[in-house]
Structure 1
Amino acid sequence: MTATIVSEPLAATLAGLYERAEEQRSSASGPPRVQLPADATAQHRADLMSDRYMPISPDTGTLLYTMIRAARPEVVVEFGTSYGISGLYIAAALRDNGIGHLYTTELSSKKVTAATRNFEQAGVADVVTILPGDARETLASVTESIGIVLLDGWKEMYLPVLALIEPNLRSGATIVADNTTRADVAPYLDYVRDPGNGYMSMSMGARGHDAVEISCRL
């Protein structure tokens, strides 16, 4: 059986986004690298980075797709929509399961508009709700039992976001945290790696890309 993650129109949308992200990464004419002020608010940082693609690796996307197909969650939460690349993998799995909904968060209004367009173009907008604004506020509206979480926004916010949604994590819920070699992820890692907090957690490399932390709510 061929995995339907590569079916159209989702495959074309995903390929186009990765192509533009790579062009931006390798092009001197792309948006200049932004030096984020130390005291910048989350909103200010999101606005400064609104033109920059920050995609997950294809391996991490395939991992998410596989986990969702296996677990068949009714609710998936994503912290950090950006241009929608990770959300496309998640939405593809929900579509192919025939069950479930993605709630994803984004501070940049420009990226909200772009991601909305990308989900529509890929034919998966019906299984996605984008929550514009600060995830530490907007995710309070998600009151259903959560089966899978992707954390891929500002790293120092991983732990506050987890704390907000933790009461709604079902037993066995899986949390995937991306880019976990960053120093500002340390408080989050300390928390999920402490068995006393109710998680089993492990680090996993992604074929040369930054590590991800996979945690299960016990």
Structure 2
Amino acid sequence: MDNRIQAVLDVYHDRINEERTQPRTEPPGGRDGGQDMRMRAVGPKTGELLNILARSLEAPRILEIGTSFGYSGIWLGEAARASGGRLITMEMHEYKSRYAQKMAAEAGLADFIDFQVGDAVALIEQLQGGVDFVLLDLWKDLYVPCLEAFYPKLNPGAIVVADNMIRPANTGVEAYARAIRAKPGISSVMLPVGSGLEISRLATAGE
């Protein structure tokens, strides 16, 4: 990571550490927007793995579903820049997307990221062209609806990563694991990295 990116990651890491050492209380607003200021970030180990996986692809079109405040987008944006690709990141709430855009600009990655605000499933359905890498990290009851929307758009060899497969325990992620493993051409494994990652890959022709 260059100095600009590392400086931005350091800011995020300070905020993540502060959040994780404070009592777990749900702020006003929560899912409906408003005042939900919790990062809920994937953390550095997961971020580094996402970066490595995305960098392994040639000029990938990367889709992040759940921008939040932009932490994982820094790792994916750097991978897009390094591999000649591009990141599309989707977020329901504009105030989170604005913060993520500010941090991406400070990291020198703004030219490699497209920020979209709106309903995830609707935005995915409107997306033109194929996708090579997906990070799924939003409200867990939306994992399966998002899967159904993006699966037809996956290019051969595409990689899909879903976060929070171990914690917090949730029926939405359990349904997602069953659903993606049932998709034609998909091989999938759950790794105990961070909060648990389901890493899936769509076969290429001839595999």
Q: Answer whether TM exceeds 0.5 for this pair.
A: yes
Q: Which structure 2 residue ranges, 5 or more long, are not aligned?
A: none
Kindly provide the CA deviation profile for residues 65-92 of structure 1, in whole angstroms up to 9, marking residues without a partner as x.
Answer: 1111111243100111011110000011
Q: Which residue is 1:185 aligned to? A: 173
Identity of aligned residues (%): 30
Which of 13, 19, 28 lines up with 1:18 in the alignment? 13
Which of 106, 113, 118 lines up with 1:121 in the alignment? 106
Q: Which residue is 2:31 aligned to? A: 45
Kindly provide the CA deviation profile for residues 24-45 of structure 1, in whole angstroms up to 9, marking residues without a partner as x.
Answer: 33236xx942499xxxxxxx61
Q: Which residue is 1:198 aligned to? A: 185
Q: Secondary structure at the match of 2:56?
A: helix
Q: Which residue is 2:129 aligned to? A: 144
Which of 169, 172, 180 lines up with 2:154 in the alignment? 169
Aligned partner letter, 1:33: E
For the 8 Å contact 2:63–2:133, the answer to whether it is kept is yes
Aligned partner letter, 1:68: A
- For 1:216 and 1:135, locate their aligned partners in 2 and report how far apart those are by CA, in whole Å: 21
- For 2:190 and 2:56, locate their aligned partners in 1 and report how far apart those are by CA, in whole Å: 20
Distance 1:198 1:49, change over 3 A: farther
Aligned partner letter, 1:168: K
For the 8 Å contact 1:50–1:111, the answer to whether it is kept is no
TM-score by length of 1: 0.85
For the 8 Å contact 2:27–2:36, the answer to whether it is kept is no
- For 1:214 and 1:172, locate their aligned partners in 2 and report how far apart those are by CA, in whole Å: 12
Q: Which residue is 2:44 aligned to? A: 58
Distance 1:35 1:179, change over 3 A: farther
Q: CA deviation at 1:162?
A: 1.4
Which of 96, 102, 107 lines up with 2:92 in the alignment? 107
- For 2:36 and 2:109, locate their aligned partners in 1 and report how far apart those are by CA, in whole Å: 23
For the 8 Å contact 1:50–1:108, the answer to whether it is kept is no
Kindly provide the CA deviation profile for residues 9-52 of structure 1, in whole angstroms up to 9, marking residues without a partner as x.
Answer: 11100110110121133236xx942499xxxxxxx614156311
Q: Secondary structure at the match of 1:197?
A: coil
- For 1:162 and 1:177, locate their aligned partners in 2 and report how far apart those are by CA, in whole Å: 10
Distance 1:106 1:62, change over 3 A: same
| Cα RMSD after superposing both structures | 1.9
Query: Are 1:33 and 2:18 matched, yes or no?
Result: no
